[in-house]
Structure 1
Amino acid sequence: MVDIVDSATRSRMMASIRGKDTKPELLLRKAMHAQGFRFRLHDKCLPGSPDLVLPRYRAVVFVHGCFWHRHEGCRFATTPATRPDFWADKFQANVARDRKHEAALLAANWRVAIIWECDIKSSVENMADELASWLKTGQSTIMGSEAKKKSA
């Protein structure tokens, strides 16, 4: 399939995709701050530079985009029709890197939460409430929509 825009436009579009301060991340930060939680942002001393670091709880939060981090079964985790081999390798490397960072954080006794973009879009307040209860319970890992399945 041929791209519908020229290469310069596509390059500009791809360059505008941010890794920090994304809309889902900002929404979650605002909701967590409103609940009284204080955190650091993108600590480069920790594996994967987590989006939120809550040192008081020894916990980190990653806000993953469903497309880039391949949220299983999500309608936003589509694969582009052009260059499918390139995209498969790219997505596989992203997922492997995410697992490596999570394992390193867990090995260093950090608690890890992975929040998916689609969970925040559906209800940021509910997600902030789930995160707050997770922080207070002491569980080691929570993964957005998977947490709802476990508690049901």
Structure 2
Amino acid sequence: MSLGAKLLREILPQDYGYVVLAVAGGSLMNLRHIFLVVKAREKYGIKAPQTYSEEHPEFNRTMRAHLNYLENYPFFTVTMLLGGLEFPRVCAGAGVAWLISRKIFCDAYIKNAESGKRQRGFGPAALAHMVMLGCTVIFGLRLNRGLTGFRPYFMK
């Protein structure tokens, strides 16, 4: 094991690996979105860098679902990594819920954005976001007051 890995094991909470795995799941979900866009480009004959089609609304919905994911992914990653320093299991669980909800949202959006069925994925994803944000805010407040369980190795 490298020195860096040893130091991280000393610094990070015991269950932080779940947080890392949830973030990796976010990257896999992004790859899924990329695959869906590539498939839609091939199906409708739309070449990059074109991101909109007058004739193919399903392509537009596929692209928009991917762009919406990219708009939300940084928030997911930051709140997951920071909130997970204090609440690794809570953030990892919320992260998995967010990923499942985002898949539901994406699939429903691509099928028919106007149907309102995408809301089945939107609500749970928003709730998971709020859980991760809450964990991050609590961590920040506790860190400022020295009340957190998180302690760098040099402070132990």
Q: Which has the larger radius of gyration?
A: 2
Task: Tell me, yes or no, whether TM beats 0.5.
Answer: no
Which fold has the larger relative contact order, with Cα–Cα distance below 8 Å and residues 6 or more apart in sequence? 2
Q: Which has the higher strand share?
A: 1
Q: TM-score, normalised by structure 2?
A: 0.30
